[in-house]
């Protein structure tokens, strides 16, 4: 009897890790003017449901370099991956997933999903309604970089109403102050062959997004043949509605 009880306990101990390992790793990629902390609420939701999670700290220096950095992270993860991108992070995952067979699903959250040769800056202005598609002098504070490039900060007076229009104004001001800049050249770099042509994708459309107009999001999602869901959310649904974003990711993962 003692031997039988020990055997049962040993089998149970083996079963727990096997069950945990059955869930794919979710890799979250933030966009421009953000950092890894933007995903905190989503990470908590996913971890509470047993998903392994990694958040990529995207350099925001160049589309090619950012995709390579995320690709390096993907190569270090054993087992299947659900790769999630927000905003500019969508362009990053579109390039980073190419050649990584462990990426089983792509999830775009208010994100750019470029085709080969397209740039983020061109897609942002492809449909009317983007706060970014205006005179750059009225949208950005610029900091010159070596080689003629520049770091772009969204003007703090614009950020809350453009990016965080479903968050309290106080929270929007904090996010505006804490934003990370993106190199201008990263937004103007032509994208490579898109991973969404070979990897199944899901797309969460923010219907009150003032950065990527909903019409442009729907166009990109339809072109990629994505499974589409819509959410009444600003450009930052992972901050304002992390439970809904996590639910969308888990639908893709399942």
For residue 116, which of 184, 196, 61, 60 has the smallest C-alpha distance?
A: 196
Mean pLDDT (the chain) is 93
Per-residue pLDDT tens digits for 114-163: 999 999 999 999 999 999 999 999 999 999 999 999 999 999 999 999 99
- Encoded tokens for 68: 């390579």
Residue at 121 is within a domain: yes
**Residue 20 confidence class, pLDDT cut points 50, 70, 90:** very low
Residue at 219 is within a domain: yes
Residue at 4 is within a domain: no
Per-residue pLDDT tens digits for 160-211: 999 999 999 999 999 999 999 999 999 999 999 999 999 999 999 999 999 9
Q: What is the domain-level CATH number for residue 84?
A: 3.40.50.1820
Domains held by the chain: number: 1
Which residue range(s) make up the domain with 215?
23-253
Give the pTM: 0.91
């Amino acid at each position: 009897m003692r031997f039988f009880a020990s055997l049962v306990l040993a089998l149970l101990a083996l079963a727990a890790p096997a069950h945990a390992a059955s869930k794919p790793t979710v890799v979250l990629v933030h966009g421009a003017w953000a950092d890894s902390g933007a995903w905190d609420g989503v990470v908590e939701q996913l971890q509470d449901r047993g998903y392994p999670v990694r958040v990529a700290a995207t350099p925001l220096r160049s589309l090619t370099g950012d995709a390579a950095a995320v690709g390096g992270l993907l190569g270090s993860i054993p087992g299947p991956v659900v790769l999630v991108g927000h905003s500019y992070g969508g362009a990053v995952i579109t390039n980073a997933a190419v050649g990584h067979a462990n990426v089983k699903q792509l999830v775009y959250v208010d994100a750019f999903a470029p085709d080969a040769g397209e740039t983020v800056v061109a897609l942002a202005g492809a449909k009317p309604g983007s706060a970014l598609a205006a005179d750059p002098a009225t949208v950005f504070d610029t900091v010159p970089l070596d080689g003629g490039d520049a770091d772009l900060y969204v003007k703090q007076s614009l950020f809350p109403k453009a990016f965080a229009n479903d968050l309290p104004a106080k929270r929007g001001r904090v996010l505006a102050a804490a934003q990370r800049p993106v190199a201008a050249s990263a937004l103007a770099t032509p994208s490579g062959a898109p991973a969404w042509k070979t990897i199944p994708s899901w797309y969460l459309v923010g219907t009150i997004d003032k950065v990527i107009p909903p019409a442009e999001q729907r166009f990109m999602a339809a072109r990629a043949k994505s499974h589409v869901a819509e959410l009444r959310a600003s450009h930052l649904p992972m901050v304002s509605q992390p439970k809904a974003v996590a639910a969308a990711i888990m639908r893709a993962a399942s």
